[in-house]
Structure 1
Amino acid sequence: MNKHLTPLAGLLAALAALALPMSAQAHRAWLAPTSTVLSGTEAWVGFDAGMSNGVFVADHAAMNLSGLTITAPDGSTAQAANAMTGRYRSTFDLHLTQAGTWRVANVSSGVLVSYKQGAETRRWRGPRADMAANIPADATDVVATRANSRTETFVTLGEPTAITLTAQGLELVPVTHPNDLVAGEPATFKLVRDGQPAADMEVTIARGGSRYRDHPEEMTVRTDTDGAFTVTWPEAGLYWMNASVRLPAAGDQLAYSAAYNGVVEVLP
């Protein structure tokens, strides 16, 4: 292994996901729950996670879950149980012990750097604070990109509760709660980038079950100046939402690349 390659939790998967615009990617990242709305004082939910040609079809590779972050309704961090990684999918369970909405996300962030040392092209990835110490003084053609990737879903036990943002990368801001979606009814969300409205961004929405129909039934919407977009769900099912952005370097700002993959369930 190149001595300049420094591991960062989940960043290798993000590099692959962010290397191309979303429209050109062959594989899609998803994190699918067995249930999203539950009742009682406690419950268990299972999750599958993968990278595939069609959403929720485990046919390419398991997702690296080293960046898995589970946020309980009270803001504390919870741990997954019974985690396993197979050839085509990763799986884990979550014990819901608090009423409210749980945010389950696989997140990666850091800096991706390519440079030349002599005639050889090298790469490094890691936290931005460590970049200067890991790029040789004689490096040339240095290209650095700040990257962030988030793949997430939401599960609610009892009544839905608010979702707290991290203000890092692309995030979904619920106007309509993601666990209160009904077929035939409009739902509104906002996209933010590092906490600010992500205006004029294309959002792709795809319903699961594409293996059993002739058409992908994808929808494309665009965010307004406030980062908001509205979807009217054609029918019940599990839906995948995606948005991505790439910005060139400007002044002392690094080039920027971010991707968002959200999974929601729409009930009849």
Structure 2
Amino acid sequence: MKFSRTCLVVALCLGLPLTAQAHRSWMLPSATVLSGDDVWVTVDAAVSNDLFYFEHFPLRLANIGSQETSGPRGGRPAVLTISAPDGSKVEPQNGSVGRYRSTFDVPLKQKGTYKLAVVNDGIFASYKDGAQTKRWRGSAEDFAKEVPQNAQDLRASFNQSRMEVFVTAGKPTTETLKTVGSGLELAPITHPNDLVVGTDATFRMLLDGKPAPNLKVTVIPGGNRYRDKLGEMTLTTDAEGKFTVKWPEPGMYWMEAVVQDDNSPAKEVKRRRAAYIATLEVLPQ
């Protein structure tokens, strides 16, 4: 089965190796800190060259609007999960998919911190079929059934990706900040909705529930379309997986960390790529 161009691009951006950071996937909330009653946020989700600018593909989410279903099994859109402050699940509202972005609304009926997460796990493989290179993405179970194990130039890896956004209505809470112990995760020390320009924010990166030392974390302010330089900050976690960011200016920031190792949770393959992406809002003093 062939991978459609759209599904291939989205799969790459959700957890597969990228070339020269050609495209980045992201979710952008209209706000991350709100007050009052009956409040909502609108979220845009896209894959683009420039951060928070719509010019490439919508980020395809299975429970948002009408989605393309072409492509191999496992190439289908990922599922968005919204966790309320008490841990219950919230359904996205008014979802739609346009040419360049997906969009949806989230009602914030409880006070506290919500987490919006897109988690994508599966095996990605490429191999030669004669002169043609074929690509496949799906579950470990389907990998053994659908990919010839003696195929020429077979390359396969288990890919884990997690994309998150945190939104707080009223006073920040911590229930949704809990980690699950799988793949690469952010364990905030500074609350992700308490970020102020000119002050330090400290976070911890975990890999399979344990501190991830010596990990490179990239932080890029939005709006790079209008700058001569990307403006990225490259930070390194310490022995406890911690790193500190000092925000140079207010605005939305994109954060990414990637690990490649031989600790795949699927016995069918050895190689693993784990990625974490977050959008964070930094407020003025």
- Percent identity over paired residues: 49
Matched with 1:35 is: 31
Match of 1:255 in 2: 271
Instruction: Tell me how far apart the structure 1 counterparts of residues 110 and 50 of structure 2 sit (CA, whole Å).
Output: 33
Deviations 1:169-194 (A, max 9, x none): 22111000000011100000011122
One-letter identity of the residue aligned with 1:237: G
**In structure 2, which of residues 232, 244, 253 is the aligned counterpart of residue 239 of structure 1?**
253
Instruction: State the secondary structure of the residue aligned to 1:83.
Output: strand
Task: Find the aligned partners of 2:115 and 2:213 in 1 and give their Cα distance.
Answer: 24
> After superposition, where does 1:69-80 map in structure 2 within 5 Å?
69-80=81-92
What amino acid does structure 1 have at the position aligned with 2:275? A
Superposition TM-score, scaled by structure 2 size: 0.82
Q: Is the 8 A contact 1:42 1:98 kept in 2?
A: no
CA distance in 2, matches of 1:137, 1:259: 26
Query: How many aligned residue pairs are there?
Result: 261
Q: Deviations over 1:119-145 (max 9, x none)?
A: 765443222233333344654654331
1:211: which partner in 2? 225
Partner residue in 1 for 2:11: 14
Structure 2 residue aligned with 1:112, among 124, 127, 135?
124
**Partner of residue 158, structure 2:** 146
Distance 2:131 2:100 in 1: 38
* Aligned residue type for 1:32: L
- Trace 1:25-104 onto structure 2 (pairs within 5 A): 25-66=21-62, 67-104=79-116
Report whether the alignment pairs 1:173 with 2:187. yes
The superposition leaves residues 201-229 of structure 1 with CA deviations (integer Å, 9 ceiling, x where unpaired) of 11111111223333332211111111110
For residues 15 and 106 of structure 1, the distance between their equivalents in structure 2, rounded to whole angstroms, comes to 14
Greater shift after overlay, 224-233 or 123-132?
A: 123-132
Q: Distance in 2 between matches of 1:117 and 1:27?
A: 28
Matching residue's letter, 1:158: G
Change (3 A) 1:168 1:159: same
- Aligned-partner Cα distance in 2 for 1:211–1:15: 22
SS of 2:166's partner is strand
Q: Secondary structure at the match of 1:257?
A: strand
Distance 1:126 1:147, change over 3 A: same
Q: Name the SS for the 2:11 alignment partner.
A: helix
Question: 1:225 and 2:239 equivalent?
Answer: yes
RMSD (Å) for aligned C-alpha atoms:
2.5
Structure 1 counterpart of 2:122, which letter? G
Q: Counterpart of 1:177 in 2: which secondary structure?
A: coil
Q: Partner of 1:189 in structure 2?
A: 203
C-alpha distance in structure 2 between counterparts of 1:112 and 1:77, whole Å: 29
Change (3 A) 1:14 1:148: farther
Q: CA deviation at 1:15?
A: 3.1
1:76 and 1:11 mapped to 2: Cα distance?
32
- 2:280 aligned with 1:264: yes
